[in-house]
């Protein structure tokens, strides 16, 4: 997904943000549809007069309203983490950071901690995100130490550094992984709360997904990665993360079998991430997701929704109807999960439709909780309803 230069992003988004300020009150009115839900986030009440918008943006970049009703406040009232993916590029646009800190207490770097990006660009971008989280009392989930799939040209993050390839000896390959994990996890020891240690190792059809990790080290590469991460930071929560394994049956059963064996083998695994990249035209039922969360939690694992977004482009109907379907999907899935003991966090793969991987991967869509003007959508209120539900 290409991210335009900051200047263009700033100018375009600033204009959009002005639009938000003017439209802000409208959300308050819209929120009246859900009158029992606290009014819209403070940022919309802080912008009362257009001429003050500039000051307001300056003002809101310096303080994170702690008393305002927000997803963060609702999640913390339940002892839950609520998160978003964030990229360092977007942090340079003040309203992105202000909204991120106000609505979420859990930050996942979208790409800055991936092996190839660390190799190419060093730690500066990741340091910026970790520092932002610390400044706003947010926890960080490092993502991801091992993305266990072959290179997918649509996903740069799946590329391995040049120095690990099919010609690398097993000993050198193992050494490279050890150095990568010990260095990266060690650098953020005490600053990163949890790590997606291994991502997407289970094949969509059967067994483990073909990858250089599997070719070189065999199935044991998964346990080895968790062990290396635990050596580097014994206090970090170590997670196995995957997609398409949210409900019951098929791949979900294979992920369950994998993590059950890791637990039985005393591998230092502490949690599972269910990515939840779903299409509102067909997704696992809330009941099946809850049943899956329950069985994973019964293994003693903390369960996360780790990357939720809900595509609506193919949903029949007009925009309003699409957005209502999306609200219900977010509400039903999150509501089912938060009721399960052992469910730890719901993380969305971004929070504004102005920046989602979906657009470049699947085509233009509006999969997230706030629109491109940073205005809460019905989906936002669906998640709020889920967090406030009994």
- Pick the stretch among 1-9, 56-64, 182-190, 261-269 that binds ligand G3I (CB under 6 A): 1-9
Asked if residue 6 binds ligand G3I (CB under 6 A), the reply is no
- Pick the stretch among 71-79, 151-159, 330-338, 370-378 that binds ligand G3I (CB under 6 A): 151-159
111 versus 373: smaller Cβ distance to ligand G3I: 111
Q: First and final CA of the chain: distance in angstroms?
A: 38
Residues 294 to 333 in contact with ligand G3I, rule: CB under 6 A: 307
Shortest Cβ distance from residue 1 to ligand G3I (Å)?
A: 5
Residues 346 to 365 in contact with ligand G3I, rule: CB under 6 A: 357
Asked if residue 377 binds ligand G3I (CB under 6 A), the reply is no
User: CA-CA distance, 216 to 101, in Å (whole number)?
Assistant: 41
User: Quick one: tokens of 35?
Assistant: 């009158």
Listed residue (265, 266, 246) closest to 256, CA to CA? 246
**β-bridge mates for residue 146, sequence order:** 198
Burial class (CB in 10 A: 0-12, 13-18, 19+), 123: middle
Shortest Cβ distance from residue 303 to ligand G3I (Å)?
A: 17
Shortest Cβ distance from residue 111 to ligand G3I (Å)?
A: 4
99 versus 199: smaller Cβ distance to ligand G3I: 199
Report the residue closest to ligand G3I, judged by CB.
157
Shortest Cβ distance from residue 212 to ligand G3I (Å)?
A: 17
Which residues does 181 contact at the CB level (< 8 Å), separation at least 6? Answer: 145, 146, 225, 228, 229, 232
80 versus 118: smaller Cβ distance to ligand G3I: 118
For 24-67, give the DSSP string.
HHHHHHHHGGGTTSPPSPHHHHH--SGGGHHHHHHHHHH---SS
User: CA-CA distance, 263 to 269, in Å (whole number)?
Assistant: 7
User: CA-CA distance, 290 to 294, in Å (whole number)?
Assistant: 6
112 is an active site residue:
no
Shortest Cβ distance from residue 283 to ligand G3I (Å)?
A: 16
User: Number of residues in contact with ligand G3I, rule: CB under 6 A?
Assistant: 14
Catalytic choice (200, 224, 246, 385): 200
Contact track, ligand G3I, 69-88, x by CB under 6 A: ------------------x-
Torsion, Cα 309 277 159 225, to 10 degrees, reads: 110
Angle at alpha carbon of residue 259, lines to 255 and 261, rounded to 5°: 120
b/e code 215-248 from CB counts within 10 Å (16+ = b): ebbeeebbbbbbbbbbebbeebbbbbbbbbbbbb
- Pick the stretch among 152-160, 287-295, 334-342, 368-376 that binds ligand G3I (CB under 6 A): 152-160
200 is an active site residue:
yes
44 versus 280: smaller Cβ distance to ligand G3I: 280
Please state the three-class secondary structure of 87-122 as a single string.
Answer: CHHHHCCHHHHHHHHHHCCEEEECCCCCHHHHHHHC
Burial class (CB in 10 A: 0-12, 13-18, 19+), 292: buried
Q: How many CB atoms are located within 10 Å of the residue 8 CB?
A: 10
47 versus 90: smaller Cβ distance to ligand G3I: 90
154 versus 175: smaller Cβ distance to ligand G3I: 154
Shortest Cβ distance from residue 370 to ligand G3I (Å)?
A: 17
Residues 101 to 120 in contact with ligand G3I, rule: CB under 6 A: 110-111, 114
Q: Which of 60, 90, 275, 292 binds ligand G3I (CB under 6 A)?
A: 275
245 versus 384: smaller Cβ distance to ligand G3I: 245
Asked if residue 157 binds ligand G3I (CB under 6 A), the reply is yes
Listed residue (143, 141, 138, 151) closest to 111, CA to CA? 143
Asked if residue 2 binds ligand G3I (CB under 6 A), the reply is yes
Shortest Cβ distance from residue 173 to ligand G3I (Å)?
A: 21
Shortest Cβ distance from residue 110 to ligand G3I (Å)?
A: 5
What is the torsional sign of CA 307, 333, 280, 364? negative
Contact residues toward ligand G3I (CB under 6 A) are 1-3, 87, 110-111, 114, 155-157, 199, 275, 307, 357
Residues labelled as active-site residues: 200, 307
């Amino acid at each position: 997904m290409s991210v335009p230069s900051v200047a263009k992003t700033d100018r375009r988004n600033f204009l959009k943000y002005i639009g938000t300020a003017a439209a802000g009150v409208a959300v308050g009115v819209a929120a009246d549809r859900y009158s029992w839900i606290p009014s819209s986030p403070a940022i919309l009440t802080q912008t009362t007069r257009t001429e003050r918008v500039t000051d307001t943006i300056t003002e809101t970049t310096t303080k994170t309203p702690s008393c305002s009703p927000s997803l963060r406040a609702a999640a913390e009232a339940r002892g839950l983490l609520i998160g978003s993916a964030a990229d360092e590029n977007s942090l340079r646009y003040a309203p992105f950071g202000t909204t991120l800190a106000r609505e979420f207490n859990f930050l996942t770097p979208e790409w800055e901690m991936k092996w190839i990006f660390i190799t190419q660009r060093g730690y500066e971008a990741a340091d910026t995100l970790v520092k932002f989280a610390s400044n706003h009392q947010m926890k960080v989930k490092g993502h991801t130490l091992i993305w266990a799939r072959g290179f997918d040209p649509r996903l740069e993050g799946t590329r391995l550094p040049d120095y690990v390839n099919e010609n690398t000896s097993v000993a050198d390959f193992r050494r490279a992984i050890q150095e990568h994990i010990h260095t990266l996890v060690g650098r953020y020891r005490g600053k990163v709360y949890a790590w997606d240690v291994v991502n997407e190792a289970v094949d969509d059809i059967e067994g483990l997904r073909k990858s250089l990790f599997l070719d070189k080290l065999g199935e044991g590469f998964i346990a080895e990665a968790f062990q290396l991460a635990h050596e580097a930071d014994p206090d970090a929560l170590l997670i196995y993360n995957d997609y398409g394994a949210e409900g019951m049956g098929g791949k979900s059963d294979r992920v369950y079998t994998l993590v059950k064996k890791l637990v039985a083998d005393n591998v230092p695994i502490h949690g599972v991430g269910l990515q939840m990249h779903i299409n509102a035209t067909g997704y696992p039922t809330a009941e099946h997701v809850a049943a899956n969360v329950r069985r994973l939690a019964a293994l003693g694992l903390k369960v996360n929704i780790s990357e939720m977004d809900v595509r609506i482009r193919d949903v029949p109907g007009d925009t309003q109807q699409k957005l209502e379907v999306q609200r219900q999907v977010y509400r039903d899935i999150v509501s089912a999960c938060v009721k399960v003991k052992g469910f730890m966090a719901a993380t969305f793969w971004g929070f504004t439709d102005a920046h989602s991987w979906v657009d470049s991967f699947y085509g233009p869509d509006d999969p997230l909780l706030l629109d491109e003007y940073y205005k809460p959508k019905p989906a936002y209120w669906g998640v709020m309803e889920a967090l406030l539900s009994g």
